[in-house]
Amino acid sequence: MSIYYLQKLIYQLNRDEHVRQRYERDFEELLADYPLDDVERTALREPDIGLLYVMGVNGQLLMHYAALRGYEWDDYLQAMRDGVERHGPVRAGLYAMTGT
């Protein structure tokens, strides 16, 4: 698990046009630059927005990645709800603060 780098990739993708271009040109090559495990890479690739939320990606980062991947607002919210139902409570990061 490398929630820090998972979030860092999304942070850089959200704000840096060059990273965005690399994402569009060759997502696999971009993914290889970050020390992510297979589950994390798969969640980004699919994308599995619900699993990314459960892993602990901050919504202030995740909502923009979801939008980039074509999610409308309500679909984004539903994807997180589905993720919690499928994968259980948030495991790390800010939303795991209360342990619920």
Residues 6+ apart with CB under 8 A from 87: 50, 51, 54
Q: Site map for other proteins, 21-60, x if CB under 8 A?
A: --------------------------------x----xxx
Query: How many whole angstroms separate alpha carbon 26 and alpha carbon 91?
Result: 30
Considering only residues 24, 35, 73, 75, which one is a binding residue for other proteins as defined by CB under 8 A?
73
Considering only residues 32, 33, 46, 81, which one is a binding residue for other proteins as defined by CB under 8 A?
81
Least distance in angstroms from the C-beta of 27 to other proteins: 18
Least distance in angstroms from the C-beta of 64 to other proteins: 7
Q: Which residue in the block uniquely carries the two structure tokens 């798969």? A: 42
Query: How many whole angstroms separate alpha carbon 68 and alpha carbon 47?
Result: 11
